[in-house]
Amino acid sequence: MKPQDSARSRSVWARLWPRRLGWRLALGFGLLLALMLVALAQASLQIRAMTGLTQRFATQDMQRLLRVQALSLYTEGASNALLRLMNAPREHRIPEYTEVDERNRRIDGIVGSLDGHLVDPAQEQTLQRLMAARAAYFKAFIATVDEIEGNDPKAAMQVYVAQVAPALKTMLMESNALINRERERVEHQVAEAQQRFEQLAIWVAGWSVLAIVLALVLALRTTRNVVAPLAQLEAVALRIAAGDYSHPVLATSAEEVDRVGQALATMTGAIATREQEIERLAFRDPLTHLPNRTFLLEPVTGQRAGNNCLMLLDLARLKTINETLGFATGDTLIKEVAQRVETVVKRAASSGLIGGPQPVVAHLAGGRFAVSLRATDRPTVESLRLQLDQAMAQPVLCSGHSVDLSLAYGFADSPQGAPRLVATLMRNAEVALHVAKQAAVGFAWYSEAQEAARLSHLGLVSDLRLAVATSQLQMWLQPKFSLKTGRAVGAEALVRWQHPQRGFVSPAEFVPFAEQTGYIGLVTTWMLGEALRTLALWAPVQPELSIAVNVSTRDLQDPQFCRRVKQLIESHGVEPQRLRLEIVESGLMQDPQSSVAVLHALRALGVQLSIDDFGTGYSSLAYLQQLPVSELKIDRSFIHRVDALPGTQRLVKTMIEMGHGMGLTVTAEGVETEAERDTITRLGCDVMQGYLGSRPLYGEALQAWFASLEPVEYAI
């Protein structure tokens, strides 16, 4: 058979062989049953035929053989009986006659019964010859009897020898021939029957073997058709259990198994969709659709092998935007930043700037994003930052507002480029981001030195008590000017620390730690004393000037604070409204309820209150309205380059309008250029503070500045 022939016959077979297991089993077992029935019918026919044969053999053939044998015996007996008659005396002849007659009658009876019942024509001829010999014998017998009755034994003997004996001999011969023939027939029939029995045995054995082979083939095929696809199903189920959802559809030869396979595929699809949904809910941020913090910190998803660098990105002023332009605008900004960051990072990965596994861009919270990547060197990361900054240059237009985007960055990598836990990198990047924001620089790398600096600050703080006692602190004053008149309206008091060993220490460095340890109270009290002392000096010349002292959140939590302020004011004999207290917006939110109460108590003393660093905190407008403040100080990050940033101008304008709406004086911090000043003036700002007006002043410089002020006519 050629290969294509075998393939064709296979395909024919495949077409005929049903695909449903049920049909296959029915077909197989039906075939087996049909085979058994045919075998049974055939066997019963054979047995019936053999039963007929046996019956005929017993009722006809054997009977005939026996009769023929009896004929032979009677013929011999007839001869003997005749001889005895011939030799018997007359008085004894009667029984002999009876004997001879009996024999003759028997012979006649047998011959008569055989006549017409012999099947073989040759036998029939033999019988005819026998009957002829019988007729001759009768004739001779009568003649013999005549001689006997004539008392001529000699003549009787002669007739006997000449006629009776040959006739009897012929009869005997013919009957023997009949016997032989019948015996042959019987033997032949026995042999035939035996052969038939053997044939039947072979036949039954053949069918049995055929049925067994068929049953075996059926069992094998069923096993192949059921067990093999079931094993495939099992393998697929195990794969699904292991989380491999690829190619679950089976192509077996059994329709039912394929249907189960399709059901599995449907189930797998449903599981995969649900898993994706669960994963999406657990690991995706719904706003940006970016991975979230959980994703990043999760060992399986976030800890990409080989990622050794984490960039933290912080969108500046998000809360202010939320407050002033609404949360929808804030959300639009976050989405826009997410998209731009993702685009830049993808481009950097595909251009080969970043190697290793695909970087992960995650949205952590609010305006906070993280990029986890493999960085070979720091310049690469910094060039990625430049690309990100470029991507942020275009302001975002949302609901009619053009909003500028500004990012601060904290970077953390691992020494020698070894992979690190994302949690560690994240913590370090937070420290770096904090440093970057504090120093008002664009970005910072985490370093052990930052950690050391933190620790050294702790040491510094313990020196603070001594600093207060030994006059290492100085109060510098930074003047504030009215934008309408250009005149000085007051000054902000800024602390400076001349450390005997360390030299000048910036408040940005020690104030946060002094706040954490509670030592800030000492500083505030000292500064309040200095400010009030100065106010008392100024009052005769410039009674309108005020001095603002920065108050920490920790001060507001101190139950003695209000009383202390009152005592200080009274002891210096200063009009309370000349003293301002600046409270940072973010600090207020740590304990909004008690803050409100303390502020009201302070206001009740007659002291003026300002909200410092406005725009950087998280306060809601509704909350600010409850506060008894009179000044809003817009954080200097909004003022920096405000003239060149239309989006920021809108923000600042909204803030100013909001402040005016609440009846507050609005002050701009950190004004460094004339352009910035002109812009904020145009936007309606009331007061400015910054290097443009004056740097913080101390000592002689302060004296000189004070002396240069125009005297107030109605003073003194």
E strand spans, 172-241: none
Of 223 and 438, which CB lies nearer to ligand C2E in the complex structure? 438
Q: 111 phi and psi, to 5 degrees?
A: -60, -45
Choice from 98, 506, 516, 571 touching ligand C2E (CB under 6 A): 506
Of 290 and 494, which CB lies nearer to ligand C2E in the complex structure? 494
Retrieve residue 603's tokens: 């206001």
Is residue 697 involved in binding ligand C2E (CB under 6 A)? no
Least distance from ligand C2E to the Cβ atom of residue 694, Å: 8
Place of tokens 């009769």: 67
Per CB under 5 A, contacts with Ca ion among 511-550 are: 550
In the DSSP assignment, the letter for residue 460 is H
Choice from 312, 608, 696, 706 touching ligand C2E (CB under 6 A): 696
Sheet strand arrangement including 407-413: 355-365, 368-374, 309-315, 407-413, 443-445
Binding mask 312-341 toward ligand C2E (x if CB under 6 A, else -) reads: ------------------------------
Least distance from ligand C2E to the Cβ atom of residue 472, Å: 14
Least distance from ligand C2E to the Cβ atom of residue 584, Å: 6
| Binding-residue total with ligand C2E (CB under 6 A) | 24
E strand spans, 608-685: 608-614, 631-634, 665-668
Tell me how far apart the alpha carbons of residues 532 and 546 are, in angstroms, rounded to a whole number: 10
Q: What residues are paired with 476 via a beta bridge? A: 494
Tell me how far apart the alpha carbons of residues 113 and 64 are, in angstroms, rounded to a whole number: 9
Is residue 582 involved in binding Ca ion (CB under 5 A)? yes
Sequence-distant (6+) residues with CB within 8 A of 151 are 90
Per CB under 6 A, contacts with ligand C2E among 647-686 are: 669-672
Retrieve residue 644's tokens: 């060149």
Retrieve residue 387's tokens: 């690309």
Of 248 and 696, which CB lies nearer to ligand C2E in the complex structure? 696
Sequence-distant (6+) residues with CB within 8 A of 639 are 652, 668, 669, 670, 671, 676, 680, 690
Of 104 and 689, which CB lies nearer to ligand C2E in the complex structure? 689
Transcribe 412-446 into DSSP letters: EE-GGG----HHHHHHHHHHHHHHHHHTT-SEEE-
Tell me how far apart the alpha carbons of residues 436 and 573 are, in angstroms, rounded to a whole number: 43
Least distance from Ca ion to the Cβ atom of residue 309, Å: 33
Least distance from Ca ion to the Cβ atom of residue 582, Å: 4
Q: What residues are paired with 313 via a beta bridge? A: 369, 409
Q: 301 phi and psi, to 5 degrees?
A: -85, -40
Choice from 527, 562, 565, 687 touching ligand C2E (CB under 6 A): 527
Choice from 511, 652, 680, 697 touching ligand C2E (CB under 6 A): 511
| Choices 114-122, 213-221, 595-603, 663-671 (CB under 5 A): range interacting with Ca ion | 663-671
Retrieve residue 128's tokens: 């005819």
Element (H, E) at 313: strand 309-315
| Choices 45-53, 204-212, 337-345, 688-696 (CB under 6 A): range interacting with ligand C2E | 688-696
Of 326 and 507, which CB lies nearer to Ca ion in the complex structure? 507
User: What length is written for the chain?
Assistant: 716
| Residue in the shown chain whose Cβ atom is closest to ligand C2E | 690
Tell me how far apart the alpha carbons of residues 580 and 609 are, in angstroms, rounded to a whole number: 5
Is residue 523 involved in binding ligand C2E (CB under 6 A)? yes
Least distance from Ca ion to the Cβ atom of residue 646, Å: 24
Least distance from ligand C2E to the Cβ atom of residue 338, Å: 30
Least distance from ligand C2E to the Cβ atom of residue 527, Å: 4
Choice from 315, 362, 431, 494 touching ligand C2E (CB under 6 A): 494
Least distance from ligand C2E to the Cβ atom of residue 654, Å: 21
Q: What residues are paired with 547 via a beta bridge? A: 491, 579
3-state secondary structure at position 369? strand
Of 323 and 509, which CB lies nearer to ligand C2E in the complex structure? 509
CB 369 within 8 A of CB 335: no
Residue 527 interface partner, choices ligand C2E, Ca ion, none, CB cut-off 5-8 Å depending on type: ligand C2E
Least distance from ligand C2E to the Cβ atom of residue 550, Å: 3
3-state secondary structure at position 18? coil
Choice from 336, 342, 530, 612 touching Ca ion (CB under 5 A): 612
Of 174 and 612, which CB lies nearer to Ca ion in the complex structure? 612
CB 640 within 8 A of CB 620: no
Least distance from ligand C2E to the Cβ atom of residue 608, Å: 15
In the DSSP assignment, the letter for residue 58 is I
Is residue 490 involved in binding ligand C2E (CB under 6 A)? no
Of 108 and 672, which CB lies nearer to ligand C2E in the complex structure? 672
Least distance from ligand C2E to the Cβ atom of residue 286, Å: 36
CB 338 within 8 A of CB 367: no
Per CB under 6 A, contacts with ligand C2E among 533-552 are: 550, 552
Other CB atoms within 10 A of residue 447 CB = 14
**Strand pairing report for 407-413 and 665-668:** unpaired
| Choices 120-128, 237-245, 445-453, 490-498 (CB under 6 A): range interacting with ligand C2E | 490-498
Tell me how far apart the alpha carbons of residues 689 and 480 are, in angstroms, rounded to a whole number: 5
Retrieve residue 683's tokens: 């936007």
Per CB under 6 A, contacts with ligand C2E among 297-316 are: none
Is residue 610 involved in binding ligand C2E (CB under 6 A)? no
| Choices 260-268, 323-331, 393-401, 517-525 (CB under 6 A): range interacting with ligand C2E | 517-525
Sequence-distant (6+) residues with CB within 8 A of 230 are 257
Least distance from Ca ion to the Cβ atom of residue 688, Å: 13
CB 692 within 8 A of CB 677: yes
272-280 long-range CB contacts below 8 Å, 24 or more apart?
Answer: 272/245
Choice from 28, 479, 617, 690 touching ligand C2E (CB under 6 A): 690
Binding mask 551-570 toward ligand C2E (x if CB under 6 A, else -) reads: -x------------------
Is residue 520 involved in binding ligand C2E (CB under 6 A)? yes
Tell me how far apart the alpha carbons of residues 586 and 593 are, in angstroms, rounded to a whole number: 14
Choice from 613, 631, 643, 686 touching Ca ion (CB under 5 A): 613
Tell me how far apart the alpha carbons of residues 416 and 412 are, in angstroms, rounded to a whole number: 13
CB 82 within 8 A of CB 160: yes
Of 137 and 614, which CB lies nearer to Ca ion in the complex structure? 614
Is residue 583 involved in binding ligand C2E (CB under 6 A)? no
CA 209 to mean position of chain CA atoms: 53
Of 337 and 609, which CB lies nearer to Ca ion in the complex structure? 609
Give the binding site for Ca ion (CB under 5 A): 550, 582, 612-613, 669
Q: Which residues bind ligand C2E (CB under 6 A)?
A: 478, 493-495, 506-508, 511, 520, 523-524, 527, 550, 552, 612-613, 636, 669-672, 690-691, 696
